[in-house]
Every structure is written in structure tokens, then in C-alpha cells.
Amino acid sequence: MEVTCGEAETFAVDKTDMVLANLHLQVIDALVRREAFLLSRWIVLSGLFHEQVNGIMASLEQWQLRVHDRMIESRWVTLVLRKTRLRKRSHKSVEH
């Protein structure tokens, strides 16, 4: 496991297995607009207020992320998101 510290936008250029972001809404909003960030298999967004969650989730809908867990502590919300993959069904014709 590699842990990196610094400005989040600097590191949101490579595909990763997991991203943990306890950041201000404006920074999270900027990150969810970067494709590399959204290709991560797991994303944990923390430091959100209740009223901010729906806006963030609307931004993430097109990226096939589902809420794996939602934790609420007082006025704070943490979302654990998991990338889902659409499975294509193969339609093979059967000859008799």
C-alpha cells in the first residue's frame, strides 16, 4: 500500500484501487470531475454535510459507483463507494 500526502488534485491523474478523501466539498467536487479519480474501485468520501450528499451522488451516477456503506456521525456523512462493472451478456445463437 502506498500512502501519499499533498494536494488532492495533483494525485487524481492515475487509476488507483482506493481513494480516501476527507476534504472540503469544493475539493471533492473538483475531484469527482476527473476521470482517473472516478476509475478507482473504492472511493471513501468523508467530511460531507447531510445536505451535500445528494449533489455529490448526482455527480457520480454516470460513473457506475454504488453506495457500499453510509456512515453518519452527528452532522457528518461518510460515503464508501464501490465501482460496479456492467456485465455484458453474450447472446449466442444455438443451432439445432
Q: How far apart are the first and last CA of the chain?
A: 53
Q: Comparing C-alpha atoms, which of 63, 67, 4, 5 is closest to residue 35? A: 63
Tell me the per-residue pLDDT of 34-68, one tens digit each, with 9 for 90 and over: 777 777 888 888 888 999 999 888 888 778 888 99
Q: Where are the domains of the chain?
A: 8-83
C-alpha cell at position 69: 456503506
Topology annotation, domain 8-83: Rossmann fold (3.40.50)
Supply the Cα-derived Rg of the chain in whole angstroms: 16
Q: Which residue has the higher pLDDT, 10 or 29?
A: 29
Across residues 25-41, what is the average pLDDT? Answer: 79
C-alpha cell at position 62: 454516470
Name the percent of the chain lying above pLDDT 90: 11
C-alpha cell at position 2: 502506498
Q: pTM value?
A: 0.67
